A and B are shown apart, each in its own frame.
Chain A
Amino acid sequence: MSYIDLCTELTPAQESIKKETNKFARDVLRPAAIELDSMDPLSVIQSGLYRDTLRKGYELGYHTIFIPDTWGGLGLDPLEIHIVLEELAWGSVDFAVSLGVTCFPAFFATMVPNDKLIDEIIVPFCENKDATIIGCWGITEPDHGSDQLSVGAPWFHDAKITGQCHARLEGDAYVITGQKSAWVSNGSVASHCMAYINIDPSMGLAGGGIGIIPLHLPGVRRGAPLNKMGQRALNQGEIYFDNVRVPREYMIVEPDSYEPMLDLTLATANAGMGAMFTGVARAAYELALEYAKQRVQGGKVLFEHQLIRHKLFQMFTKVEAARALSRAAFIYNLNNTPPLSRYSIAAKTYCTQVAFEVANDAMQIFGGNGLSKEYPIEKIFRDARAGLVEDGANDTLMIIAAQEL
């Protein structure tokens, strides 16, 4: 189902992007994610369905969503990226996150496009159509979750608190040792990791670097894929590094600029989460609306009951408000650098909360059927619950962002 776009300036091309992405999300992503939801996490990544779904996303170029067309990326403007992220997540937030994260290594490489990164990372990734080059985002560690994202917090510079994944410079290479947590999105299936690694422990968590690590290198080992309650088609898994040598050129950011670049990462990622969970909220609302117009109770369809109508209107309003805030934050922060992270965080925390509330209300409207695996709403509810923690726990993010007020 589509929606009335309150943006009166959408071009025909942008309308088409929305329509085509919705079709892909409806016909490919949602059914695949529902089927994969019932599998154990190892079976998910071993299944042909998982690989085929990713491959179809790659064939349409969604893996290059943040990359300029100079390199063969989709070359979308910020509004278009928001539209695409919302539609992808409307179908399946699991695959939307996966397709968004996969471009992180190449996307960051486009910021410092030296010849080595162009030839070895950016161009091969953009040309890849069979989903054999997959990026992952390695930031959290077993002992460091949301605090890895706490730019500006007092503990961020505490030398007693450092990362569990370290890099030391040896000649023309960085040598990396340590572990990234089970929450690395695409961790078990990725070919390249965009890793946030501690380089200068004396600076605490602020003494990091951002590097691209090819995961075929000697010394890389993976853990088992994570078994979790929601977004089960989004693979997540830990990665271990044992003296892995990476060319120095692959370390895109070193400690002198780590903190602001982390802030920029967070501003982009959280803004993207706002877009995606607008899509999750809309999916739940639309399913509930459709159900309410068919299900008869007390001699009339649910939609004719005043309480249900009232609830549905509140859900509708929340979805529209989520889109308005997340689009504004997304467009502002992808048009202005340095970004204003607090707006991205406001979008992420608000939209994930809205997605959870709307999915919860939808479950209530579905009644007993909502609890059944026969209807997709219980999956969307579990997916939405994960969003309150994913990409930084909302409570922590809000406390961090409040420093800027």
Chain B
Amino acid sequence: MPIFESTEKMYEVLGGLFTMLMQNQEVYTKAKEAGISILFQIHDPKGQIWLDPDDPRHVICGAHDIKPTITMTLSGDSCHAFWLKKLSLPIAIATGKIKSKGPIPKVLKLLPMLKPAHEGYPEIARSHGLPVD
């Protein structure tokens, strides 16, 4: 049974997380300056979440029509584990749990920007009744 029971639930939880992340002025500015857009191509449940600093919405759940700088392909469960810091990016990439497409230097540049999301996710997950331990 996947952590996220449906695509809608996943969009609600992760969409909220990413909206919080992109509302962080420092993160938004860095992402914008670096010209980094990200597509999370998720399976189980299937969905797409985009972070696009050039789009007024910043976070788009579902279809979008840009070419992302970085594409991360992963399952909903891996997403959940990653944001809980139970899955480190290099190990997830090395073991194939996350497949990444896009310049590795930009992927590495992205990591420090994600800190607020890692810090905020346990509370968000808990508030949606998802397991965090």
Interface residues of A (CB under 8 A from B): 66-70, 73, 75-78, 81, 110-113, 118, 252-253, 256-257, 260-261, 263-264, 334-338
A261-B90 in contact (CB<8A): yes
Q: A111-B108, A261-B94, A264-B94 are in contact. Are A337 and B99 (CB under 8 A)?
A: yes
A68-B106 in contact (CB<8A): yes
Report the Cα distance A16→B89, complex, angstroms.
Answer: 33
Report the Cα distance A253→B90, complex, angstroms.
Answer: 9
Proximity bits, B23-55, A CB within 8 Å = 1, else 0: 000000010000000000000000000000000
Q: A70-B112, A110-B111, A113-B112 are in contact. Are A337 and B93 (CB under 8 A)?
A: yes
Q: A110-B111, A113-B112, A257-B95 are in contact. Are A335 and B104 (CB under 8 A)?
A: yes
Report the Cα distance A264→B100, complex, angstroms.
Answer: 13
A338-B109 in contact (CB<8A): no
Closest 3 CB pairs of A and B: A260-B94, A68-B109, A111-B90
Chain B: CB-nearest residue to A78: B103
Contact of B94 among A66, A78, A334, A338 (CB under 8 A): A338
Report the Cα distance A336→B101, complex, angstroms.
Answer: 5
Interface centre among A112, A118, A261, A337 (most CB of B within 10 A): A337
The reply on B1 being an interface residue by CB < 8 A is no
A69-B109 in contact (CB<8A): yes
| B interface secondary structure, majority | helix
Q: A66-B105, A110-B108, A113-B112 are in contact. Are A338 and B96 (CB under 8 A)?
A: yes
Interface residues of B in 94-133 (CB under 8 A from A): 94-96, 99-109, 111-112
Contact of A338 among B89, B93, B108 (CB under 8 A): B93
Chain A: CB-nearest residue to B93: A337
Smallest Cβ distance from A337 to chain B, in angstroms? Answer: 4
Smallest Cβ distance from A113 to chain B, in angstroms? Answer: 5
**B residues less than 8 Å from A253 (CB atoms):** 90-91
A334-B103 in contact (CB<8A): yes
Smallest Cβ distance from B115 to chain A, in angstroms? Answer: 9
Report the Cα distance A81→B103, complex, angstroms.
Answer: 11
B88-A334 in contact (CB<8A): no
B89-A111 in contact (CB<8A): yes
Smallest Cβ distance from B117 to chain A, in angstroms? Answer: 14
Interface centre among B90, B95, B106 (most CB of A within 10 A): B90
Smallest Cβ distance from A13 to chain B, in angstroms? Answer: 14
Q: A263-B94, A338-B94, A338-B96 are in contact. Are A76 and B104 (CB under 8 A)?
A: no
**A residues less than 8 Å from B89 (CB atoms):** 111-112
Report the Cα distance A338→B111, complex, angstroms.
Answer: 17
- 19 inter-chain pairs at a CB distance below 8 angstroms, sorted by A residue, are A68-B106, A73-B105, A77-B106, A112-B90, A253-B91, A260-B95, A261-B91, A261-B94, A264-B94, A335-B101, A335-B103, A335-B104, A336-B100, A336-B101, A337-B94, A337-B104, A338-B94, A338-B96, A338-B99
Report the Cα distance A112→B108, complex, angstroms.
Answer: 9
Beyond A77-B105, A112-B90, A257-B94, 8 additional pairs, beta carbon < 8 A: A68-B105, A76-B105, A77-B106, A81-B105, A257-B95, A260-B95, A335-B101, A336-B99
Smallest Cβ distance from B59 to chain A, in angstroms? Answer: 22
Report the Cα distance A257→B104, complex, angstroms.
Answer: 19
**B residues less than 8 Å from A76 (CB atoms):** 105
Smallest Cβ distance from B48 to chain A, in angstroms? Answer: 19
Report the Cα distance A66→B101, complex, angstroms.
Answer: 17
Report the Cα distance A336→B111, complex, angstroms.
Answer: 16
Chain B: CB-nearest residue to A112: B88
**B residues less than 8 Å from A70 (CB atoms):** 30, 108-109, 112
**A residues less than 8 Å from B105 (CB atoms):** 66-68, 73, 75-78, 81, 334
Smallest Cβ distance from A318 to chain B, in angstroms? Answer: 29
